[in-house]
Structure 1
Amino acid sequence: MLDIQKIRADFPILSQKVNGKPLVYFDNGATSQKPQVVIDAIAKYYQEINANIHRGVHTLSQLATDAYEASRMKIQKHINAKYAHEVIFTSGTTHGINAVANGFASLIKEGDEILVSALEHHSNIVPWQMLCERTGATLKVIPMNEAGELIMAEYDKLLSSKTKIVTVNHISNALGTINPIKYMIDKAHEAGAAVLIDGAQATPHLKPDVQQLDCDFYVFSGHKICGPTGVGILYGKEDWLRKLPPYQGGGEMIATVTFEKTTYADLPHKFEAGTPNIADGIVLGTAIDYLNSVGFDAIAKYEHELLQYATEQLSAIEGLKIFGTAKEKTSVISFNIEGIHPYDIGTIIDKLGIAVRTGHHCAQPIMDFYQIPGTIRASFAFYNTKEEIDAMVAAVKKAQMMLS
């Protein structure tokens, strides 16, 4: 059992007021809040060991390098990667996806096919569209049903010898659907295709085991798992990372440079050009330590309780419709109220201290599927409470009354 009040005390922002009301933060799908241990770790780096890494023989450089590489090894252990050099630091999920898509440009030709799902965030659609424009490949879409679930029978039909890569999110940011990625990975491999999993929305709720999943690539962002913004991870199987060309050129990613030819450094440095986001890379390890101290099994159980409770309370509001009713779902609820634009609800309940997300959530094809402009999205974390859900429900009812 989680001691929620003790956990909430770890997050200083949760004790503040917004518009004179206690903050109720239900925009965790966009970014998580940060515990004091993470905030302190950022300051500690700059106060005590700030230096560039991998290049200096002086003490501070060695300390910073050791801390950075220790964080890489924490992440390797956390996701159960086989090797530390399969863990590449990026600026976030978007960077990781673009690095892989750019690398596949040398492997894709006209007539090849790339599969994406109807549930994707724009960051897992646009890079592949750009790749298809460059190469003449075809982008094909795995369709979804009314519940917000991918249709596996259609996925099976789409797979063929032309399929070169399947790219799908582990959990939908807009609907909370947990996709059957193990099945999808296995089927893709049977067809000879690689698989990239967008884990941005999954990693706050579960520990991905990349060896058990057998995915070829797995990407996620630090800021959604209680870590800093501007840092993320691209996991790639060693064979794939060796096969793909580097995404950027510059310092750190080279072995030798002459004006005639450059040779590239070994993994992971081949994909880490320039001075990295050192402080936040180190502190990402701190955030993962914190979440593991709370415990992902306990987090999953508690967040499921919040999801069930919020679903019951919101469903009781007349005229309210929930979008995304998958059997396998995490703690995200997207909803609208009949006859009222989601932006108007979001604006009013913000005045009551309730932070939710409104709009298409960078998943416009999902909104087009439902023929709506967007939704109100409440996304819950392990530091939220049922009392906060009650406050949100009361605020939504008040907004509904004011706007009807």
Structure 2
Amino acid sequence: MKNVRIAVIGIGNMGSFHARQFFDHHVPNAELTAVCDINSERLDWAKQTFGDCIQRFETPEQLFAAKACDAVFIATPHYDHPSLAIQALQSGYHTLIEKPAGVYTKAVREMNQVAEQSDKVFGIMYNQRTNPLYQKVKDLIEFNELGDIKRTNWIITNWYRPQSYYDAGNWRATWRGEGGGVLLNQDPHQLDLWQWICGMPKRVRSFMSFGKYRDIEVEDDVTAYVEYENGATGLFVTSIGEAPGTNRFEISGDKGKIVIENGKLTFWRLRIPESQFNQEFKGGFGSPECWKCDVPIHGENEQHVGILKNWVNAILNGTPLLAPGVEGINGLTISNAMHLSAWTDDWVELPLDEALFYEKLKERIVNSTFTKKSENVTLDVEGTY
């Protein structure tokens, strides 16, 4: 195989963006050959944009049966990611899904089991993993430059969204349509990076508000506290209602502190580890000598295209995936745990009680009385399958 034939399922905002990347040859050795969407208007758009050389399908079943591609990119609303990925993998197609991996880990675990039994390449669109800033932090921690982690803090409140954003889609910000709010829509990248760099916590306690800043029924403001196996603690704060917002990721360890903010990585490095200084210092008041280091960052941040290139290279050449699809369950586990903690007003231990989370989610769907006030809602944001 010299080129990978690609189909995109769900050609809303993100799906159409990715389809253009393939069609415009921004991804070497990849060729857009088909699109799929149940919305006829989106298929009309595809015809006008790509012409008749790109096949158009109304259902995934039609697409899979036609053998019009070698690989599929799934860019539909969140609930459909696991089920469509299972269909694609079982039908013999390499598969890439948009974030998040799904809404609840029970479904994602079933998807992962199918992926692990398949010989197809399965990835997820965690495009922030291409950012050399986060790659460098991961490298510093893996090579023990920071020592044992003591505390992690991520304030990510620059996800500002006005009411009109939520009014633009009738599936947006509902338990039935989206399955969550800021944690499931905006924060999957940060939750993934958090665990990718620092590891998974052992328990979670969260506090969140539902419809605090916007006329929505899901969470729009979250403060969560986590504890790790080694005794380290962490804080995750996020909101869509603050302007201007903050994006500051801070990791404190035995050998210093790392901060990523405003596109820059700064390493406050201790001359000797804090634990060693504490044992040896006898002078009463004092603290370890600290050097402020501006760490050089090399490499291009290719974002979405970087993940697309990596996925295609994995299909053609066996290149290791930067964002394996099976790892999508990790950040979602933290998100589910935060929701469950807020719903039960209690600590949530990991591994997560997946059945309890799913039960509580279904309760919110069944008992919802929320209705969209906008009369002109559409399904044009994430894809309309």
What's the TM-score, normalizing by structure 2? Answer: 0.34
